[in-house]
Amino acid sequence: MTQTHTELRHFVAGASTLGAGSHSEPVINPATGEAIASVRYGTAADVDDAVAAALAAFATWRHTTPKERADILLRCAAVVEEHGEELARLESADTGKPVSAARDDVAATVDTLQFMAGAIRAQQSLASGSYVADHTSTILREPVGVVAAITPWNYPLLIAAQKIGPILAAGNTCVMKPSEHTPVTTVRLAELLAEHLPAGVLNVVNGDGAIVGAALATHPDVALVSVTGSVRSGQAVAQAAAASLKRLHLELGGKAPVLVFGDADLEAVADGVAMAAFANSGQDCGAACRVLVDESVSDQLVERLVLRVEALAVGDPADGDHIEMGPLITEAQYHRVLGFLDRALAQGIRAVTGGTKLDRPGFFIAPTVLVDIPDNAECIREEIFGPVVTVQAFSSEAAMIEAANGTAYGLSASIWTEDARRAADLPKHLDFGTVWVNDHLVMPAETPWGGFKSSGYGRDMSLYALDDYSRTKHVMVNHAPRNASE
């Protein structure tokens, strides 16, 4: 029996704890609006306890060898795989994502932990060198200390693993704060991994951002705060962290452009956008939400896209594995997305499909495609974070590039073309941390993920994440003969 059907607790120093606070909130299944658990909210005192546990564990964990940490991470991956179906079902009920998507998240979680286990053993530094006569310089790579990891609700388990994997592999210890809306799988993960991790290496404090997140961002014993979330939360953490000048790793919002040229394979574009814009109900920082298409093929693309979108099986993921799109995560997010739609339609923007809520329990909005969009409309500027795609037509490549870059976000983009020059040249002109050509939202563990501009800085996944969660130290030895000057 897990805690998930009762009250979710914090996980500190290797044990579940109710902590110092007395406040709990229900955890809601967004497909039904009903509570599936409750979660105890933490306090600044709980953060103090968790950081103290992580600091104590760091004293030993930092000196383990890469092989020792890799062996433990491989055992962690195995225990996640063993409990994969349980975790996928918990994730689906907590987030409203289809069970098949939650299974994909579990598989990627296992792969992330396995990748980091291998990567840490292969990590290298610059070769030692002599840059001053009779001196040898060595560059050491060290863990930074206690890392606070603050995560969002759209991929609770997978993003937890994308933090835990490189943070622990690099020799740091961790205090996680999952989203208050979706704590279920993070708490379960901590319980499962406790079988293999020394006490205090991984701690979880539940609760809201303004209290638990802020306490982590200001805590003097936290060396680095890693946040995945909205721009607003990233800014709040950056401001709070400024007082102690702790390091930051910020994975923030996105508004991904999808550039479709006249020579593109339109069937592939329609399939790609239908998947990458509506998976997870469009609640994806890399969602393919902003289609910029050459005017010569715009009508054809919209027609194909509408066919795909109207064929999506929308419903409660508990209804079966055929469900492809679930609800929005919370009632607040549902009203926020409906607000964007109401304002767009009032402005004369047209929904060629969707544009409304679905008349059923839970927080469902019909998958939506918007056209006839004036320059600078809110729906092409702001991150809606819902099942909404905008389509705008352009008459030149230059105008399309300008529109693509004309956003505060810089996380990801895609280009769809059969032209070799465009495929090679255009990614260099796009101001986004990931640019796919003829695909969207494909993210293997070996490749870095992170943004430019308001999308933040720091890289998740890949060897770059190990760099981000470590520090370099120059050690210089003077080995001149002792009597050289005599």
Which sequence positions are flagged as catalytic? Answer: 251
The residues facing 371 across adjacent strands are: 350
Give the one residue of 113, 214, 277, 323 binding ligand NAD; rule: CB under 6 A: 214
- What six digits make up the tokens of 217? 């961002």
3-state secondary structure of 322: coil
Residue 60 to residues 53, 120, 198, 430, Cα–Cα distance (Å): 12, 17, 9, 44
Burial class (CB in 10 A: 0-12, 13-18, 19+), 486: exposed
Contact flag: residue 180 with ligand NAD (CB under 6 A): yes
Contact 258, 290 (CB under 8 A): yes
Which range touches ligand NAD (CB under 6 A), out of 151-159, 163-171, 319-327, 362-370?
151-159
Give the one residue of 95, 114, 154, 281 binding ligand NAD; rule: CB under 6 A: 154
Which of 138, 244 has the CB closer to ligand NAD? 244
| Smallest distance, ligand NAD to C-beta of residue 154, A | 5
Which of 27, 70 has the CB closer to ligand NAD? 27
| Smallest distance, ligand NAD to C-beta of residue 347, A | 23
| Smallest distance, ligand NAD to C-beta of residue 17, A | 19
Return phi, psi of residue 129, to 5°: -150, 165
Contact flag: residue 355 with ligand NAD (CB under 6 A): no
Burial class (CB in 10 A: 0-12, 13-18, 19+), 238: middle
Contact flag: residue 236 with ligand NAD (CB under 6 A): yes
Determine how β-strand 24-29 pairs with β-strand 434-437.
unpaired
Distance of CA 433 to the CA centre of its chain: 14
Count the Cβ atoms, other than its own, within 10 Å of residue 86: 15
Contact positions with ligand NAD (CB under 6 A) in 240-299:
251-254, 285
Give the one residue of 49, 191, 294, 383 binding ligand NAD; rule: CB under 6 A: 383
- What six digits make up the tokens of 106? 């579990």
Contact positions with ligand NAD (CB under 6 A) in 448-467:
449, 451, 455
Which of 141, 453 has the CB closer to ligand NAD? 453
CA angle 402, 408, 414 (to 5 degrees): 55
Task: Please count the residues of this chain forming the interface with ligand NAD, following the rule CB under 6 A.
Answer: 32
Contact flag: residue 411 with ligand NAD (CB under 6 A): yes
Give the one residue of 98, 213, 272, 326 binding ligand NAD; rule: CB under 6 A: 213
Determine how β-strand 412-416 pairs with β-strand 434-437.
parallel
CA–CA distance, 183 with 200 (Å, rounded to integer): 19
Close Cβ partners of 25 (under 8 Å, ≥ 6 residues apart): 38, 39, 41, 180
Which of 251, 316 has the CB closer to ligand NAD? 251
Which of 71, 439 has the CB closer to ligand NAD? 439
Measuring CA to CA, which residue among 198, 258, 156, 179 is closest to residue 59? Answer: 198
| Smallest distance, ligand NAD to C-beta of residue 368, A | 18
CA–CA distance, 164 with 61 (Å, rounded to integer): 14
Which of 109, 154 has the CB closer to ligand NAD? 154
Task: Name the amino acid, one letter, at 252.
Answer: L
Contact flag: residue 210 with ligand NAD (CB under 6 A): yes
| Smallest distance, ligand NAD to C-beta of residue 176, A | 9
Which range touches ligand NAD (CB under 6 A), out of 168-176, 223-231, 289-297, 465-473?
223-231
CA dihedral 61, 145, 227, 110 (to 10 degrees): -20
Contact flag: residue 385 with ligand NAD (CB under 6 A): yes
Contact flag: residue 410 with ligand NAD (CB under 6 A): no
Give the one residue of 152, 362, 386, 387 binding ligand NAD; rule: CB under 6 A: 152
> Which residues in this chain contact ligand NAD in the complex, by CB under 6 A?
150-154, 177, 179-180, 208-210, 213-214, 217, 227-230, 233, 236-237, 251-254, 285, 383, 385, 411, 449, 451, 455
